[in-house]
Amino acid sequence: MIDDLESEMFSPANSDKEISLPPYRVLARKYRPSNFHDLIGQEPMVRTLSNAFSTGRIHQAYILTGVRGVGKTTTARILARALNYEVAGKINSPTIDMQELGIHCQAIIDSRHVDVIEMDAASHTGIDDIRDIIDSARYKPVSARIKVYIIDEVHMLSKQAFNGLLKTLEEPPEHVKFLFATTEIDKVPITVRSRCQRFDLRRVEPETLIPHLTKICINEAIEVENAALALIARAAEGSVRDALSLLDQAIAHGEKGSVSALSVRSMLGLADRSRIIDLFENVMRGDCSSALNALKSQYDLGADAGQILTDLAEFVHFVTRLQIIPESINSVSLSPEERKRGSHFASTLALPVLTRAWQMLLKGIAEVKETNRPLAAAEMVLVRLCYTADLPTPEKLQKRFHEVERMLTNSIHVETTALLSGPKAQLRTVASTATAPSPQPQLAAHLHRVPEKTCSINSLADIISLAGANRDLQLKTSIERDVRLVRFETGRIEFELGPQGAPTLAASLSKKLQEWTGTRWLVAISSAKGAPSIREDIEFKSKSDALDIHAHPLVKAALEYFQGSRIVDVRSSAAASSTIAPDLVISAGDDEVAFLDQTILEEDL
């Protein structure tokens, strides 16, 4: 019984039945264009070739470049067919108007014509392969009119191979044409590109790709939703081959020969477009809790965390583009909800807010791809977006800065209050509020840092003030610390360099003075003994004042009255006369500091 079953299974009749079943051809091959009328999205190239063929200006070599799946190799085969188009008794000349199959057409379409040689440069990269082409190019074609060499991925050829091809490429025999295809045109030497006529094949826009996919679905008797085709066209990124491959996959993924947007979204791991818009609204409103919940719900449904951020970035780009180009709302790849809500966001959100969100999302997408915890990384990106949603724009910050600048320029008020408590008595000193003299010119110069070319410099102190006004704090500090003045004249400075000074200080000071004043200054380091530097003078006076103040009877009485107190600082008072001692800063403990004036000290003691 088993032998009978085996003989029935492997009988010649059944074997013939299996062989007779037609093999399945993928959509990308089944609907591959065979003439220029079927080639979609490349109208500029078709127009140029049509004019060239009609006028007989056919170039000896063409190079076709573009991203994957836009028809480079297909265009090369169509060109080979057009060059050798021949219909018995009707046409025997190159033409792009190929209404019916010619003598050589089917063989060229099937890549089996003896005079149309296709070579994959990725696997034939060496000079030996090019030498075979050079040797065979001398012989006339066997049956066709023109011998055509199609080299795919030509950028993969070696340097020696390119060099060996140059002479034949520049002066080929009349019966030879070269057709090159590449995705990386920059890797092709300029010497090769200059010998070819170049065509850049463009990405196919969704407006062109969606009707093409619809026509194929009708021919295949497939029920498909327009939203599903829009998702496929968007995921293909302008590649026709990618779109057909995705459509093939979607048909297999669907049920009963139908393709729905839900099944495509599930297949690609995409988030629901309406939920992406809701997520965008939550982020722009600063609602962090709702944004994180929306992300988690989409992630639980199978959407990829990085893809969610990518879709969110695409919607940010769409709203930004809609704000600048309102006509872009008419794109066929957009759903009615995207049009309605996108218009609302474009009219309410500021452009700086959108560009800031775009930059943060770009950085966040890279972070999600690099980490092994994509959901956590995506959540942190949304947290950053939510907490920056209500930050002021650069324009508002600039406006606020000008308001503060105007307020500071008008008036500066200083109020100081000090309080000192003792174990036996309480001493209070309240410095009267004083309005400083109008600092408007100095403040304006300090804020804007616009030095006047005609400013007058009569001393080293003027130079220090000028350096401070120009915000050159390093030079200002160096002058105060390291310049021991020997000689000062207008346009000439000599000084002794301090122990910590840099040898280049003189050159730097001369350059800055010429830049700030518009006058050339001669600045030199002298070997002569100079006066003390500004800082050394201040330190000397501070020590001298400290010694003098310790000997003052009122200070002695204050230090004795407040046991454990000490003098922290001595400051000269602008309001006091020359006969009155300077203000004191006396510490009565770790946290208590008093500003004492001699007249107040006398009254309280």
Determine the pLDDT at residue 466: 85
Residue 464: give its domain's CATH number: 3.30.300
Structure tokens belonging to residue 86: 């021949």
**Domain identity same for 126 and 225:** no
Determine the pLDDT at residue 547: 66
**Domain identity same for 515 and 546:** no
Average of pLDDT values for 65-94?
89
Domain boundary among 531, 556, 588: 531
For residue 393, being part of any structural domain is answered with no
Domain boundary among 200, 228, 258: 200
Residue 319: give its domain's CATH number: 1.20.272.10
How far is CA 305 from each of CA 268, 273, 313, 360, rounded to the nearest angstrom?
Answer: 13, 14, 13, 15
**Domain identity same for 460 and 565:** no
Q: How many domains does the chain have?
A: 4
Query: In terms of Cα–Cα distance, which of 218, 220, 205 is closest to 27?
Result: 220
**Domain identity same for 292 and 327:** yes
Determine the pLDDT at residue 196: 93
Average of pLDDT values for 173-182?
94
Residue 181: give its domain's CATH number: 3.40.50.300
**Rounded to an integer, what distance in angstroms lies between the CA atom of residue 15 and that of residue 492?**
108
**Domain identity same for 151 and 242:** no
pLDDT above 60: residue 18: no
Residue 188: pLDDT band with limits 50, 70, 90: very high
Query: In terms of Cα–Cα distance, which of 364, 352, 346 is closest to 309?
Result: 364
For residue 428, being part of any structural domain is answered with no
Average of pLDDT values for 242-260?
85
For residue 17, being part of any structural domain is answered with no
| Residue-wise DSSP of 124-169 | --SHHHHHHHHHHTTSPPSSSSSEEEEEETGGGS-HHHHHHHHHHH
Backbone angles phi, psi at 438, to 5 degrees: -55, 115
Q: Which domain holds residue 475?
A: 449-531
**Domain identity same for 312 and 460:** no
**Rounded to an integer, what distance in angstroms lies between the CA atom of residue 137 and that of residue 175?**
8
Provide the percentage of residues in the chain whose pLDDT is more than 90: 27
Residue 578: pLDDT band with limits 50, 70, 90: very low
For residue 431, being part of any structural domain is answered with no
For residue 577, being part of any structural domain is answered with yes
Q: Tens digit of pLDDT for each residue in 260-301?
A: 888 888 787 766 778 888 899 999 988 899 999 999 988 887
Q: Tens digit of pLDDT for each residue in 425-435?
A: 333 333 333 33
**Domain identity same for 43 and 156:** yes
**Domain identity same for 79 and 181:** yes
Determine the pLDDT at residue 429: 38
**Rounded to an integer, what distance in angstroms lies between the CA atom of residue 260 and that of residue 266?**
10
Backbone angles phi, psi at 487, to 5 degrees: -150, 135
Determine the pLDDT at residue 405: 66
For residue 86, being part of any structural domain is answered with yes
**Domain identity same for 102 and 133:** yes
Determine the pLDDT at residue 409: 65
**Domain identity same for 364 and 498:** no
Beta strands 413-414 and 197-200, pairing class = unpaired
For residue 19, being part of any structural domain is answered with no
Residue 481: pLDDT band with limits 50, 70, 90: confident
Q: What is the 3-state secondary structure (H, E, C) of 70-125?
A: CCHHHHHHHHHHHHCCCECCCECCCCCCCCCCCCCHHHHHCCCCCCEEEEECCCCC
Domain boundary among 337, 366, 387: 387
Is the whole model's pTM more than 0.75, yes or no? no
**Domain identity same for 143 and 250:** no
Residue 512: pLDDT band with limits 50, 70, 90: confident
How is residue 496 annotated by DSSP?
A: E
For residue 499, being part of any structural domain is answered with yes
Cβ atoms of residues 225 and 210 within 8 Å: no
Q: Tens digit of pLDDT for each residue in 192-247?
A: 999 999 999 998 888 889 999 999 999 988 888 888 898 898 888 889 999 999 99
**Domain identity same for 55 and 196:** yes
Residue 569: pLDDT band with limits 50, 70, 90: low
Q: Which residue has the higher pLDDT, 93 or 448?
A: 93
